[in-house]
Amino acid sequence: MHCAKCQISLLPSLSSSVSSACSVMASTRNSSPSADLLTRVADCLGQYVRRGERLTVALSGGADSVFLLYALHKLSVSHGLQLSALHVNHGISPNAAHWQSFCERLCAAWNIRLDVSRVAVAPRKDGLEAAARRARYDVFADVSAEWLALAHQRDDQAETLMLNLLRGTGLGGAAAMPRARAVPGRPGLRILRPLLEVSRKEIEACAHQEGLTWIEDESNADTHYSRNFIRHRVLPLLRDRFPGCEAVLARAAAHFADCQNLLQELAREDSNKAVREGRIVAAQLKIMNDARARNLMRYVLQRESVTLPDTVRLYEIVRQVCHAAPDSHLSFDLGEKVLHRYRGEVWLVPHFDAVMEKEWLGEDEMAWGGGKLRFLPTMGEGISREKLASNKVKITARQGGERFHPEYGRPRRELKKLLQEHAVPPWERGRLPLLWCGDELVWVPGIGIDIAWRCTSNEPGISPEYQPESF
C-alpha cells in the first residue's frame, strides 16, 4: 500500500518488521543477502566501536537510514552498544511532520530512544541543499555519544565524488566521504558510515526482505538539485556505457583518500619545522616548493576550521606571504578568521566582537570580545585594591591619544608607541581591554600597571590577566 500524501511506502504491518528486528536470525537464513549485509555491518563495528560506547543513528526515515537502524538494533546486544537515534526536521517539505511522526513510531516500536531536532534553514548563495546540510551538521555536532552513524552508501559516494570534481575540488574533495572521521570542534565524537561500501540497490533489497517500511522524500526526484541531476540523469547514462561505474567511482575515491592521507602526513612533518607557537614562519614557507607550501597552508587552515579559499586566492595568499617585505603587514579575510602576515609570521585571528566599555563590579572573570579577562587576588603586588575603591572602575577599548606611565625614571608616554615597542600586533591594539579608574589609565595587557596604582608591600591587590581568543 502507498500513501500519496506523504510519500511513505507502507507494508502491511510495522509490527512484522519489529518482531523481525528483535529476533535472532535462523540458521537457515545465514546465507541470505540481509544476513551477509548484517555481517558486513558487524565487521565495521568490530573495527571501530568498543563495547559500551554510545552510538546515535541519524534517522531521516529513508530506506538507507531505516535499514542501518535496523541492523544496528539487531547487533546492539552482541556488540554492547548503547543505541539511540536522531531525527532532524528541516521544516522544508510540507511532509516534514509526517516524516518525523514515522520516525517516532518506528523508534517507539523498536524501543529505541529518539531525539528530534527542528531547525530553521536559511538559504545562502550556495543553495538550499547546502544550507540544510549545514543546519543538519550543526545538530550532529551536539550529539551526546562517542559515535554518530550516517547511512551514506556507495551510490552516495559516487555522486559526491562527481559533484566535487565538477566544482574543481582538490584531493580532499576527490576523496569524498571517509568511512570514519572525527568531528571538528567536538573531541570524543566521531562519524561512522557502516554502509559506505554497499549499493543503494542492495540496501533496498535487504530492507524489502526484512519487511521494513520507510519514507520516500519527494525532493529526491527533483533534478533541479545538482545531486539529483547526477543521480537521475548522468549516472544512468554512465551505467549504460560503463556497467558498475558507481563501484569504480567509489574505488577511485578510496585511492584519492590514500593520496590525501599522504599529503596530510607530509604537512604534519612540515608543520614541525615551519610552525612556531601555532604560527607559520614565512621564511620556512618560502624555502618550500610552491605545491608543498600550499599544502601546508591548507593543512593549517583546515586544522583551525577555516573554510578553504578558492584555488586562485589560495595561490595568491601563499605567494604574498612568502615574498612580502620583512616589515610588511598583510591581512586576508577568510570568513571564520582573518589571516595576518606580521613580523615574518602567519597569524589566524578570529573576528573581534566589538566592545566599547564595561564596568567592573568586582567579579573574578569577565568576557571581552571573545576572550576572557580574569582578576586574581594578590598581596604586595598588582593593582592597589584601596586605590581602585576610590572611583568607578571600567574596561574600555583603545580610543587613541591615551598616555601611560609604566616605568619609574621615565616620563608618561603615548600608549601607541608603547604598544609598538612591545610588538603588540596591530589588530590586537584595538581589542585590548584597558582598565581605568575614573579618568586614569591603570593597566594595559602586555605592558603592565601604571606606577601610581601599584600595591605597596603587604597591601591587598588585584592582578588582571587577559586571554584573547587568538591563534
Distance CA(279)–CA(411), nearest Å, equals 35
Distance CA(310)–CA(313), nearest Å, equals 6
Question: Does pTM surpass 0.75?
Answer: no
The region, left, alpha or beta by phi > 0 then psi within -120 to 50, assigned to residue 83 is: beta
How does pLDDT run along the chain (471 residues), one tens digit per residue? 334 334 444 333 344 443 343 443 333 344 588 899 999 999 999 999 999 999 999 999 999 999 999 999 999 999 999 999 999 999 989 999 999 999 999 999 999 999 999 998 887 767 788 888 889 999 999 999 999 999 999 999 999 999 999 988 888 889 999 999 999 888 899 999 999 999 999 999 999 999 999 999 998 899 998 999 999 999 999 999 999 999 999 999 999 999 999 999 999 999 999 999 889 999 999 999 999 999 999 999 998 889 899 999 999 999 999 999 988 899 999 988 999 999 999 999 888 777 778 999 999 999 887 789 999 999 999 999 999 999 999 999 998 899 999 999 889 999 999 999 988 888 888 889 999 999 999 999 989 999 999 999 889 999 999 988 654
What does the pLDDT read at residue 14? 42
What does the pLDDT read at residue 25? 38
Counting other chains too, the contacts that 420-425 makes at CB distance below 8 Å and 24 or more residues apart are 422/446, 422/447, 423/343, 425/340, 425/342, 425/343, 425/347
What does the pLDDT read at residue 22? 40
Quick one: how far is CA 397 from the chain centroid? 31
Looking at the domain assignment, is residue 66 inside a domain? Answer: yes
Looking at the domain assignment, is residue 111 inside a domain? Answer: yes
Distance CA(154)–CA(158), nearest Å, equals 6
Verify that 181 and 292 share a domain, yes or no. Answer: no
The region, left, alpha or beta by phi > 0 then psi within -120 to 50, assigned to residue 332 is: beta
Looking at the domain assignment, is residue 228 inside a domain? Answer: yes
Q: Which of 329, 350, 371 is the last residue of a domain?
A: 350
Looking at the domain assignment, is residue 130 inside a domain? Answer: yes
- The total number of structural domains that make up the chain: 3
Verify that 66 and 91 share a domain, yes or no. Answer: yes
Query: Domain limits at 236?
Result: 33-255
Q: Which of 333, 350, 367 is the last residue of a domain?
A: 350
Q: What interhelical angle do 96-110 and 63-79 show, nearest 10?
A: 20
- Are residues 340 and 347 in contact, defined by beta-carbon separation less than 8 angstroms? yes
Looking at the domain assignment, is residue 23 inside a domain? Answer: no
Report the CATH number at residue 243: 3.40.50.620
Looking at the domain assignment, is residue 209 inside a domain? Answer: yes
Verify that 135 and 113 share a domain, yes or no. Answer: yes
- Are residues 67 and 212 in contact, defined by beta-carbon separation less than 8 angstroms? yes
Backbone angles phi, psi at 442, to 5 degrees: -100, -40
Verify that 149 and 298 share a domain, yes or no. Answer: no
What does the pLDDT read at residue 129? 80
What does the pLDDT read at residue 31? 58
Entry field: residues in the chain: 471
CA dihedral 6, 9, 13, 14 (to 10 degrees): -80
Q: Give me the residue label for grid cell 616548493.
A: 289
Verify that 286 and 249 share a domain, yes or no. Answer: no
Report the CATH number at residue 308: 1.20.59.20
Range 161-178 burial, b when 16+ CB lie within 10 A, else e? bbbbeeeebbbbbbbbbb
Work out the angle at residue 92's Cα, subtended by the Cα atoms of residues 86 and 97, and round it to the nearest 5 degrees: 55
Verify that 284 and 423 share a domain, yes or no. Answer: no
Verify that 325 and 402 share a domain, yes or no. Answer: no
Looking at the domain assignment, is residue 6 inside a domain? Answer: no
SS (H, E, C) the chain: CEECCCCEECCCCHHHHHHHHHCCCCHHHCCCHHHHHHHHHHHHHHHHCCCCCEEEEECCCCHHHHHHHHHHHHHHHHHCCEEEEEEEECCCCCCHHHHHHHHHHHHHHHCCEEEEEECCCCCECCEHHHHHHHHHHHHHCCCCCCEEECCCCHHHHHHHHHHHHHCCCCHHHHCCCCCEEECCCCCCCEEECCCCCCCHHHHHHHHHHCCCCEECCHHHHCCCCHHHHHHHHHHHHHHHHCCCHHHHHHHHHHHHHHHHHHHHHHHHHHHHHHEECCEEEHHHHHCCCHHHHHHHHHHHHHHCCCCCCCHHHHHHHHHHHHHCCCCCCEEEECCCEEEEEECCEEEEEECCCCCCEEECCCCCEEEECCEEEEEEEEECCCEEHHHHCCCCEEEECCCCCCEECCCCCCCCEEHHHHHHHCCCCHHHHCCCCEEEECCEEEEECCCEECHHHECCCCCEEEEEEEECCCC
Q: Give Cα separations from 121 to 81, 124, 405 (angstroms).
A: 32, 9, 53
**Strands 403-404, 413-414: pairing kind:** antiparallel
Verify that 139 and 247 share a domain, yes or no. Answer: yes
Verify that 340 and 363 share a domain, yes or no. Answer: no
Verify that 163 and 85 share a domain, yes or no. Answer: yes
Verify that 214 and 131 share a domain, yes or no. Answer: yes
What does the pLDDT read at residue 239? 94
What does the pLDDT read at residue 470? 53
Looking at the domain assignment, is residue 450 inside a domain? Answer: yes
Verify that 152 and 48 share a domain, yes or no. Answer: yes
Distance CA(397)–CA(406), nearest Å, equals 18
What does the pLDDT read at residue 1? 38
Q: Which of 350, 365, 393 is the last residue of a domain?
A: 350
What does the pLDDT read at residue 96? 93
Distance CA(39)–CA(79), nearest Å, equals 12
Distance CA(218)–CA(8), nearest Å, equals 10
